[in-house]
Amino acid sequence: MKRHFFSNSILLLSGIAAFFISSCDDGYSNYTSQGGGLTTSYVYLLDGSVQPTYLKVATGSSITFVNNSGQPHTIISDDTTTIKTNLILPAKSFLFKKDTFGIFPYHCVEHPNVTGTIEFRP
């Protein structure tokens, strides 16, 4: 009799646990893994320019700098603190994300004539 009661108790507890687990919302179903639903924007580093030259993104968005040129590039904002990348070799990329807002002109350290601007909007 004890054995029957014990197995029924386990079965009942398992059913209750399954009900609560299945009814729980993880709270993340409306988000993607990239920036909480924010899109990833791309800046293409070309020979002598960047595309796009002016980019508007939401604060907290990811920006990927993609080197489609034959030369390495290091991107830095004109204020030298907001936007900084490592050296990006040809055919490589650098993922950048910043929780800030404002308009930030930037340039390539190796090629100062390669310039662009990123606007972070709240």
Structural domains present in the chain: 40-121 (2.60.40.420)
Q: Are 96 and 86 in contact (CB under 8 A)?
A: no
Which residue would you say has higher pLDDT here, 84 or 28? Answer: 84
Beta bridge pairs of residue 108: 75
The predicted model gives 54-80 an average pLDDT of: 95
Which residue would you say has higher pLDDT here, 109 or 35? Answer: 109
The answer, yes or no, to whether residue 107 has pLDDT greater than 90, is yes
Q: pLDDT tier at 23 (50, 70, 90 boundaries)?
A: very low
Give the three-class secondary structure for 110.
Answer: coil
In whole angstroms, what is the distance from residue 45 CA to residue 2 CA? 74
Q: pLDDT tier at 39 (50, 70, 90 boundaries)?
A: confident
> What pTM did the predictor assign?
0.69
Query: Which pLDDT score, from 0 to 100, does residue 24 have?
Result: 45
- Comparing C-alpha atoms, which of 43, 60, 33 is closest to residue 121? 60
In whole angstroms, what is the distance from residue 105 CA to residue 15 CA? 59
Give the three-class secondary structure for 117.
Answer: strand
Query: Which pLDDT score, from 0 to 100, does residue 67 have?
Result: 97
- Comparing C-alpha atoms, which of 73, 59, 60 is closest to residue 101? 59
How far from 93 is each of 26, 42, 47, 120, CA to CA, in Å?
A: 33, 10, 15, 20
Query: Which pLDDT score, from 0 to 100, does residue 21 have?
Result: 46
The answer, yes or no, to whether residue 29 has pLDDT greater than 50, is no
| pLDDT above 70 as % of the chain | 69
